[in-house]
Amino acid sequence: MLPRRLLIEETELGEAMTQLRVDLEGVRLNSQAVSRLLRGQGIDLIAVTKACLGDPRVAQAMLDGGAQGLADTRNQNLRRLRDALPDAEIHRIYLAPKSGGFESCDICYVSSSEGVRAVARAGEIGHPRKIMFLLETGDLREGAPLEHLDDVVNAALQESRVEIEGIATNFACFVGRPEGLEHSVSTVVEAAQSLRRRGVDLPRVSAGNSSTLSLLVQGKKLPEEVTELRCGEAILLGQDAILLQAVPGCRQDVCRLRLEVVEEYTKIANGGAQRRLVLGAGSQDLGSGRLEFLSPGLREIGRSSDYTVVVATPGANGTLGDILEAIPGYGALVSAWTSPFVEVDFV
C-alpha cells in the first residue's frame, strides 16, 4: 500500500487524482436486496470482498445487509477481514497452493489432493480445517474436473485434519456463457447428490457467483440442494455478472468514478470533426473494463496506459478541468480500487 500513500501525499500538494467514490449505505442496501432475493429460495449470501481489497468498512456494510459470511482470495485481504471482523465466517476462495504459505480461514476451497493436504498442514493440531471441494462445471478456469473429484474427496476422507463442509463451483469468470449457466448449477448439484449417496456428509452447496443471480431474476428456481451463492459484483454494481442486468432492488450507482478532463479539442478524425476529451486515467487505472458515463453524449473511443479518449456529441457536457462521473464495469472497478493512482473515497 505504500505507493498509494505516497501518491495521496502528492495529491495534498496539488496533484489531482482520479477518484472512486463508494456509497457504504448503498452497499448495505444492495446486500439487503440480494439477500432478500436469495432468501426467497432458502439460500444464503456469502459476500465477496476481493474487488475492494477486503476493506472492513465495505465488508461490515455487506454483513449489515444480510450476508452470512465473507469471501476473498488474497492473504492480505483475509488477514484484514479477520482482524477487523473476528466473528465473521470467512471463506478463502483462492485455491490452497501446494507450497503452503497461505492464510487458512474458516473455510478453504480445494480442487486437488495436494490442496487438501496443504490445508491440513496449515491447521492447528486438534482443530480440523473446514474445506469445500471446488468443481469445474464449464468455465474452464479453476476447479477439479468431474472425473477427478473422487480423488480429491478420497484425500479429504483420509485426512483427519480437515472437515468436509461442502462443494462449490464458479462460472462466468473466464469463458462461461449464459447458455451454460443452468448446466453448471445442475452439475454441482448432481455431484453433491452423488457424494451424499456415498455417505459423504456434505452440508453446503455453493452454486456459483453473481452470474447465477440472473436465473433468479428470470424467475427460475434453483435446486433445493443449493445452500448459498458467493456475490461481489451484484452488491457493488447492482447487476448480475453474466447478462449485466439490474438485480431487483439494487442500485447501480453505488461505486462511481470521477475523472478529470485534462484536454479538450476539436480534431479531424474519420473524415470529420470530432470534439474529443482526454481524461486523466488510463488502462493502468481502469484496466480494460468498460465505463458508462452519467452525462449523455459521451462515448469512449480508446484508452492508453494513462489516458482515456472520449468523443463528445454536440451539446454534451465536458470541458477542460471538468470532472466527469462514470459507472465502472467490474473490471474497471477492480483496477481502480487497486490502482495507487486512484483515490478511494467513502461517503
Decide: 191 and 146 in contact? Cβ < 8 Å: yes
Q: Does residue 188 share a domain with residue 45?
A: yes
Structural domain count, the chain: 2
φ/ψ (deg, to 5) at 166: 170, -165
pLDDT at 227: 98
pLDDT at 16: 55
Q: Give the domain range for residue 290.
A: 2-20+253-346
**Is residue 245 in some structural domain?**
no
183: CATH: 3.20.20.10
**Is residue 117 in some structural domain?**
yes
pLDDT at 2: 37
> What does pLDDT average to in each consecutive run of 10 residues of the chain (347 residues)?
42 66 98 98 98 97 98 96 97 87 91 94 77 97 97 97 97 95 98 98 97 96 98 98 96 98 93 94 96 97 96 95 97 96 96
Domain boundary among 237, 266, 292: 237
Q: Does residue 8 share a domain with residue 112?
A: no
Residue 341 gets the label, from left (phi > 0), alpha (psi -120 to 50) or beta, of alpha
Burial of residue 139, with CB atoms counted within 10 A of its CB: 0-12 exposed, 13-18 middle, 19 or more buried: buried
**Is residue 248 in some structural domain?**
no
Nearest CA to 30 among 52, 53, 4, 6? 52
| The model's pTM | 0.93
**Is residue 279 in some structural domain?**
yes
**Is residue 246 in some structural domain?**
no
pLDDT at 125: 61
pLDDT at 126: 61
274: CATH: 2.40.37.20
Q: Does residue 317 share a domain with residue 174?
A: no
What is the residue type of 313? Answer: T
pLDDT at 101: 79
Nearest CA to 346 among 61, 79, 78, 73? 61
